[in-house]
Amino acid sequence: MLKMSIFYALPNLSCGLICALLAIVFRTNKKAYLLIAGFNTLPKAEKAKYDSKKLCHYFCKLLLLLAVEMVIPGIIISQNIAVPAMLISSWSIFIITLIVSQIYLKQQGKFKI
């Protein structure tokens, strides 16, 4: 039975790993702001209005939060504890965090110079 619970935990653990790796990229790479959707297609005059270092720092923190939100439930699921409830709640929290982060990001002048 324990082997089957690993398969239930794989989506959470893999998503958490991807988020953690992207957080490392945003933290260490100076050109990581090019990975931000929409920002890389802005004209140079518009890009100059934004603080790319603040944007990368924000996305690093967001991705680390998302990684933690996925890895901890993944570990709990792999121990075969409350599998259906944990799957539903972890992905719900993941989506809610993404929506709230987009609202925060869209606030007027949050990352403008």
| Tens-place pLDDT, residues 14-73 | 999 999 999 999 999 888 888 888 888 888 898 888 888 888 999 999 999 999 999 998
Structural domain harbouring 45? 2-105
State pTM to two decimals: 0.85
For residue 94, tell me if it sits in a domain: yes
Give the 3-state secondary structure of residue 84: helix
> Distance between CA atoms of 40 and 111, rounded to whole angstroms?
15
Q: Is residue 58 part of a domain?
A: yes
In a domain, 110, yes or no: no
pLDDT score recorded for residue 77:
83
Query: How many domains does the structure of the chain reveal?
Result: 1
* Residue 25, pLDDT score: 93
Q: Domain for residue 67, yes or no?
A: yes
Closest to 11 (Cα-Cα) out of 91, 65, 81: 91
Average pLDDT score over residue span 69-97? 87
Q: How much is the pLDDT for 31?
A: 83
Cα-Cα-Cα-Cα dihedral sign, residues 45, 48, 52, 58: negative
